[in-house]
Structure formats: C-alpha cells, structure tokens
Amino acid sequence: MAGKNRHPVIVDTDALIATANTQLWPRIVSTLNLTTTNVCIQELKRHIRERSKYARSGSREQRLYEGSIAALEPFEDESNNAFIVSTCVPRPHGEDAGEESIRKEVAQYPETYRYAILMDREGRIAINRAFEEAGAGGKAIAPPFLLYLLLDADACTKEEFCCACGELLETEGWTGYQAVQAAWEAIPIDCSEFLSDRVLP
C-alpha cells in the first residue's frame, strides 16, 4: 500500500522549528509519530549551515539555528521509527519548497494523512483543498495543534500546554489577529487563566 510507512501527522519546516523551540519538544519526540518530507529536512539543514551557533541570544537567527538542530535530530536518529522522512518526487524548489512538498504529499496520499501542520495561511488553504478534492477527512492546521496532540495524549498538563502555546506564538512573532485566530482554530481548550489576551483568540 502506498504511503504505508508514513505517520498520519505531517509537519512542515516552520512548524518543526517553532515546536522544537518550546519546552515540550522532548515530549513530542518521545510521544508522537510524525512525518516530514526530504525537502523540509534540507531546509532545516540549510538553516543550520547558514546561521551561527554564536547568534545573539533571543534573536531570530538563534531561534532558527537551535530549533533546526533540535527538529532534525529525531528524524536523523535511525533507531527512531516515530519520525519518518518521506521523499517528495518531483522535488519542489524555491522559497516555499518545504510547504509545497507537504501539499504534494497530501495530494498524492490524501488517505494517509489526518493532519498537516503548518502556519502559512495560503499553504493551509491549498492543502485543505487537496484533502477536500480527494474526499479525505484530513485537515491543515497551525503549529500549536501539535502541542494539543501532546495534551490529548496525556503527555503534558493543561498549564504546560497553554504556556507552551503562548511561548510558541510569542517567540515566532505570530501575534497578529489572523495568526492568533489560526493558532487556536482547532483547539478546544480555554487557556485564559494562563495567557494574556495578546496570544488568545
């Protein structure tokens, strides 16, 4: 069966970096089963190559460098079958190559994937269209949903989940109205006791 080795949650480069920079990443690695594409893996490697480990603390450069290293590690660990890399053919190129590779994967194997995790709004629309056209029940969702899957698996507390979501949105600068609405779209949890209105829908 095509796509049999793929796990039903597929994650793009930005979403991997964003979640890898949260306190809950080690628990994601030990709890969830994820797929990404070879194109996203190459993007992570490029971030590591092009940025310095001596980047200023708290800078975007440091976030991309450290997040890419943390995100890459479980996919390169040959003993970890929970993190799978799927090869996208033909391989897309350009600025949005990773995101495009996720869309192609979903279009090719729509029944395999339940969730595609990425932040870009246009990317989510295109992937949701691919799911719909195939009559599949999958959904493209923003990166905090990956943290919600952890909560749903009883691998973190509500407070840890809420704080990690706030940390993710603040660190990534995803605090505009549309980004915040998208971030919480599929998450049935009220985090108002832990987070400021700035990062709540």
Question: What distance in Å separates the CA atoms of residue 21 and residue 189, rounded to the nearest whole number?
Answer: 22
Say which DSSP state 195 is in: S
Q: What is the pLDDT of residues 33-92, one digit of tens each?
A: 999 999 999 999 999 999 887 888 889 899 999 999 999 999 999 999 999 999 998 889
SS3 36: strand
Q: How far is CA 161 from each of CA 32, 34, 84, 187, rounded to the nearest angstrom?
A: 15, 19, 24, 11
Per-residue pLDDT of the chain (201 residues; tens, 9 = 90+): 345 589 999 999 999 999 999 999 999 999 999 999 999 999 999 999 998 878 888 898 999 999 999 999 999 999 999 999 999 988 898 889 999 999 999 999 999 999 999 999 999 999 999 999 999 999 999 999 999 999 999 999 999 999 999 999 999 999 999 999 999 999 999 999 999 999 999
Question: What distance in Å separates the CA atoms of residue 160 and residue 15, rounded to the nearest whole number?
Answer: 18
Query: Phi and psi for 11 in degrees, rounded to 5?
Result: -130, 135
SS3 26: helix
CATH number 3.40.50.300 is the correct assignment for the domain at 9-199:
no
SS3 93: coil
Q: Using omega within 30 degrees of 0 as the cis cutoff, is the peptide bond preceding 90 cis? A: yes
Question: What distance in Å separates the CA atoms of residue 101 and residue 71, rounded to the nearest whole number?
Answer: 17
With beta carbons less than 8 A apart as the criterion, state whether 179 and 119 touch: yes
For the entire predicted model, the pTM comes to 0.95
Per-residue model confidence (pLDDT) at position 6: 92
